[in-house]
Amino acid sequence: AQTVTQSQPEMSVQEAETVTLSCTYDTSENNYYLFWYKQPPSRQMILVIRQEAYKQQNATENRFSVNFQKAAKSFSLKISDSQLGDTAMYFCAFMKPLSRNTPLVFGKGTRLSVIA
Amino acid sequence: GAVVSQHPSRVICKSGTSVKIECRSLDFQATTMFWYRQFPKQSLMLMATSNEGSKATYEQGVEKDKFLINHASLTLSTLTVTSAHPEDSSFYICSARDAGTYEQYFGPGTRLTVT
């Protein structure tokens, strides 16, 4: 079974600074998908970024980028120029090769606080 | 973007009663919907996977007779918590997978309180 580990239960960062959230996973699959989701106080799950394992290039979405190390099974999220609105729970998630019933496997989450 | 709605957003019910939560994909067809439960300050726990027109697949430890899931159409799935007890109080989140793109979208969640 796949597992996702987020070793940082809580983190804080000053506004405008950069922060990196870590995530490791365990799988025997060669093709898979990795995601970072944000859950703000509203509790609505928001997709931040996704990465396909077969792509070597790290995904980037505006201020959010990942460092995907397939051999190390590591998938960290870097948030640049942190903003107060980035305060949220961040969940790393894994998904096996896509089929209609493939569920997301979530890590336990990292609570990020952006401080003014 | 694709939208998933949940109704109600909050519900309070008495112990022993049943409550139904609806999950709708508003602008896409979802052959698969997932139901999650989230306790305070914890991650999402997958309860079951439902496919349109067939029985739901429940995760180990989830009581199928207590948490009844129906996925009668490509845009609607329902979760019924039967004979609710205070320990069923939680935040329930549904997620729908777009039949065409396989992208997964989340509803805003339902907070259930059983008194």
Query: Cα dist. A82→A71, A107, B87, B98 in Å?
Result: 29, 22, 38, 32
The predicted pLDDT at position A101 comes to 82
Average pLDDT, chain A: 95
Strands of chain B (E only): list them: 4-7, 10-13, 19-25, 30-38, 44-51, 57-58, 67-73, 76-81, 90-98, 104-106, 110-114
pLDDT at residue A99 above 80? no
> Tens of pLDDT along B2-37?
899 999 999 999 999 999 999 999 999 998 999 999
Q: Considering CB atoms only, which of B31, B43, B109 is closest to A109?
A: B43
B51 touches chain A (CB under 8 A): yes
pLDDT at residue A22 above 90? yes
Q: Are B60 and B111 in contact, with CB atoms under 8 Å apart?
A: no
The predicted pLDDT at position B103 comes to 84
> Tens of pLDDT along A49-63?
999 999 989 999 999
Q: What is the mean pLDDT of residues A89-108?
A: 90
pLDDT at residue B114 above 90? yes
The predicted pLDDT at position A105 comes to 93
- Cis before B86? omega within 30: no
Q: Model confidence at B95, in pLDDT bands (50, 70, 90)? A: very high
The predicted pLDDT at position A33 comes to 92
In B, minimum Cα distance to A88 occurs at: B41
Scan residues 43-82 of A and list those with Cβ closer than 8 Å to B: 43-45
Residues of A in contact with B33 (CB under 8 A): none
Average pLDDT, chain B: 93
A109 touches chain B (CB under 8 A): yes
CB-side exposure of A96: number of CA atoms within 13 Å?
Answer: 11
The predicted pLDDT at position B79 comes to 97
Apex A44 CA angle, A6 and A66, nearest 5: 40
A41 touches chain B (CB under 8 A): no
The span from the CA of B57 to the CA of B47, in Å, is: 9
Residues of A in contact with B109 (CB under 8 A): 43-44
Query: Cα dist. A35→A15, B24, B31 in Å?
Result: 24, 23, 21
Percent of chain A surpassing pLDDT 70: 99
A44 to chain B, closest Cα gap in Å: 5
In A, minimum Cα distance to B56 occurs at: A101
The predicted pLDDT at position B100 comes to 80
> Tens of pLDDT along B28-83?
999 899 999 999 989 999 999 998 888 899 999 999 999 999 998 999 999 999 99
Contact A107 B91 (CB under 8 A): no
Q: Considering CB atoms only, which of A43, A91, A101 is closest to B32?
A: A101
The span from the CA of A78 to the CA of A76, in Å, is: 7
